[in-house]
Structure 1
Amino acid sequence: MLKRLALAAALAAVAGFAAAAPTTYKIDPNHTDVIASWSHFGFSHPVAHFGQVDGSITYDPADVAASKVEVTIPLAGLNSHVPDFDEHLRSADFFDAANHPAITFKSTKVEAAGEGKLRVHGNLTVRGVTKPVVLDTTINKVGEQPMAKRPAAGFDATTTLKRSDFGLGKYAPNVSDEVSIRITTEAIVPKGDAAAPGK
């Protein structure tokens, strides 16, 4: 009986360890949006959306520090709903997409910031310039995605950047140097990986 109890306890410990292992999710570009907003002479706050986001999120609720994020945002997915403005943003005046076709973010540290909250520190690279940023992040939901029937995780995040830090300061301060960033993302375990946490 004692041997059986010991075996059951060992199996439970192993199962608990497996459940707590970090899980890597692939970002779903169809349910992910990066939205930038700024002040235009104080009269309005236009926005630009950055779609076609690619990347992965590794999240471990039992050990938040083991979590990590890597994201690529192609400038081809930029959409302000004003085509001429989109082309201007992609030009050498701003993002210089011909030479720097994507924005990237790679986390350097993830820490808990209260119930359902994280602070994601990382390096943001825009137009070949890399600067540290911090994303104030809300954990929306972690569980099975009903349509895909696979594990998924959803997050919202915000930060504020100075575009001049990345060589994008044209027209400041009439067009505000500070840009507010809002991110919403849904990420899902790829097919075939649902039973493989930590991949």
Structure 2
Amino acid sequence: MRKIVIAVALAATTAVAIPVIAQQPTTQPGAKDPSRVKAGTYTVDSAHTQVLWEVNHLGFNDYFGLFGDAKGKLTIDPAKPSAASVEIEIPINSVATSSAGLTKHLLGTDFFDAAKFPTATFKSTSVVVDGNDAKITGDLTIKGVTKQVVLDAEFQGAGLFAMTKKDTVGFEAETKIKRSDFGVSYGIPMVPDVVELKISVAFEKPAA
């Protein structure tokens, strides 16, 4: 009797699962095809956007952390890619590391002083496009200090994400900054001044 019950349960589960599986996409919705990019204003997909930072740890090894929950917008026209503009706002409290103690220290006055300076921002001032790559110059503001930085950006993909019904585009970008330029000088030179940043960002907008 138990075997019969188990068999019936498995059959019922399979009957439910097969239609669900059949509805799943069989290919990735995004592709590295610039012709898929649609003109308009996109907003940051906060759930799939990260800012990764890397700094050397006392000459022993490299250490990584990240920021999430970014907000912002991208305005782009494929016919005029150099006229694109982007603005990003990063909540400092979203910083994450593998050490709870370090994360708490980073939020304090030695580093980001998050209570006083809760966000960092980037606003582009110019975009120079070369194929799928671009150099995005803009103003980066951390702890109330604004400096010009250049992001080496690469187009990653575009397409309609059927589950959200939103046109989506994605990019990756890299740059290096001196943290002392922004008043984050704790630990220098034991912990180096230069910090590498890698940004992976998705933008989305409702399909027309």
TM-score range, shorter chain: 0.7 to 0.9
Measured in 2, the distance between the counterparts of 1:106 and 1:44 equals: 32
Instruction: Report the counterpart of residue 151 of structure 2 in structure 1.
Output: 135
Amino acid at match of 1:110: V
Deviating more after overlay: 143-152 vs 123-132 = 143-152
Displacement of 1:161? 0.4
Alignment check: 8 A CA contact 2:65 2:97 kept: yes
Q: Highest Rg: 1 or 2?
A: 2
Instruction: Report the counterpart of residue 45 of structure 2 in structure 1.
Output: 28
Instruction: Report the counterpart of residue 74 of structure 1 in structure 2.
Output: 91
Displacement of 1:22? 3.5
Alignment check: 8 A CA contact 2:37 2:159 kept: no
Instruction: Report the counterpart of residue 132 of structure 2 in structure 1.
Output: 116
Displacement of 1:188? 0.5
Instruction: Report the counterpart of residue 57 of structure 2 in structure 1.
Output: 40
Measured in 2, the distance between the counterparts of 1:129 and 1:148 equals: 37
Measured in 1, the distance between the counterparts of 2:66 and 2:89 equals: 14
In structure 1, stretches of 5+ residues that fail to align are 1-18
Instruction: Report the counterpart of residue 170 of structure 1 in structure 2.
Output: 186
Displacement of 1:159? 0.2
Displacement of 1:60? 1.9
In structure 2, stretches of 5+ residues that fail to align are 1-35
1:128-162 deviation line (CA, Å, top 9, x unaligned)? 00000011000001221232232110000000000
Q: Does 2:163 match 1:147? A: yes
Displacement of 1:82? 1.2
- The percentage of aligned residue pairs carrying the same residue is 39
Measured in 2, the distance between the counterparts of 1:42 and 1:64 equals: 41
Alignment check: 8 A CA contact 2:37 2:169 kept: no
Alignment check: 8 A CA contact 1:20 1:62 kept: no
Displacement of 1:20? 9.0
State the TM-score, normalized to the length of structure 2: 0.79
State the TM-score, normalized to the length of structure 1: 0.83
Number of positions where the alignment pairs a residue of Structure 1 with one of Structure 2: 173
1:28-65 deviation line (CA, Å, top 9, x unaligned)? 11110000100112211111110011111112221112
Amino acid at match of 2:162: P
Q: Which residue of the other structure, out of 89, 93, 107, is the alignment partner of 1:90? A: 107
Amino acid at match of 1:124: L
Alignment check: 8 A CA contact 2:37 2:158 kept: no
**Segments of 4+ in structure 1 off by > 6 A?**
none
Instruction: Go from structure 1 to structure 2 and tell me whether the alpha carbon gap of 1:20 and 1:117 turns closer, same or farther (over 3 Å shift).
Output: closer
Alignment check: 8 A CA contact 1:56 1:187 kept: yes
Instruction: Go from structure 1 to structure 2 and tell me whether the alpha carbon gap of 1:170 and 1:145 turns closer, same or farther (over 3 Å shift).
Output: same
Displacement of 1:115? 1.9
